[in-house]
Structure 1
Amino acid sequence: MESSDTFLIRPHHQHKFKPAVVKECIREIVREKLSGVQYDPEEVPQLSKTLADSVKEKVKNAGFDRYKLVVQVVIGEQRGQGVKMSSRCLWDADSDNYAEDVYLNDSLFCLVAVFGSYHY
């Protein structure tokens, strides 16, 4: 007798984490929330959390159901300086991926990265 278990260790192609789709989600939320905002060090912690939660919710609604999502938001004062951000992950290169975007205005910069790890 055959078992009808449907245990998947890899997502179907149409359900894979798509960086272009996620980047567009990031861009839309960040532009909406930060347009015209001035840097205020007192408000940055709450603003970072709000942005991370909004981005995570939008990405979840884009159809990445079986992915564990990690959203990283860095906000700083814009003074013409350069900023580099790096990260390292141990994951399955076939099913896991990430997307990132940068937002700048006259007062602040914002770096957002979303990491998607497939969970079976």
Structure 2
Amino acid sequence: MCRALYKSWGRYEQIGLDADRIPHEAIESSIGGNAYQHSKVNQWTTNVVEQTLSQLTKLGKPFKYIVSCVIMQKNGAGLHTASSCFWDTTSDGSCTVRWENKTMYCIVSTFGLAI
């Protein structure tokens, strides 16, 4: 969850809540209970990103959104990610959602930039 990041959304705290909920829903509807299949990863990542972006846009808030998705097979390998932003901390924010099942990890990062 992104509770620690809600403050970074300033007066748009609800967007922070939605940026946590919406990717979870997109992951569940796109990947659900499937086992990792290399041939499906491109389709899954595209679906997760497009569904997340579509649902955030439907909120009708004055934001531009950036959404990224990583799907990785659970095989004991490590994965480290980082991002940095130069923005207005009173109105812009980010949220990273980590989801997993028995065979894979899915990490979705969402950035909202006030217009």
Q: TM-score, with normalisation over the residues of structure 1?
A: 0.78
Cα distance in 1 between the residues matched to 2:17 and 2:76: 28
Larger Rg: 1
How large is the Cα RMSD of the aligned pairs?
1.9
Cα deviations across residues 8-39 of structure 1 (Å, max 9, x unaligned)? xxxx94x5663122101111221222211121
Q: Residue 26 of structure 2 corresponds to which residue in structure 1? A: 29
Would you say the 8 A contact 1:16–1:95 is kept in 2? no
Q: Higher helix share goes to which structure?
A: 2
Task: Extract unaligned runs of 5+ from structure 2.
Answer: 1-9
In the TM superposition, residue 76 of structure 1 has moved relative to its aligned partner by: 0.8
Q: Residue 107 of structure 2 corresponds to which residue in structure 1? A: 111
In the TM superposition, residue 97 of structure 1 has moved relative to its aligned partner by: 0.2
Correspondence list, 1:83-94, <5 A: 83-94=79-90
Would you say the 8 A contact 1:17–1:116 is kept in 2? no
Cα distance in 1 between the residues matched to 2:76 and 2:99: 13
SS in 1 for 2:86: coil
Identity %: 22
Q: TM-score, with normalisation over the residues of structure 2?
A: 0.81
Task: Extract unaligned runs of 5+ from structure 1.
Answer: 1-11
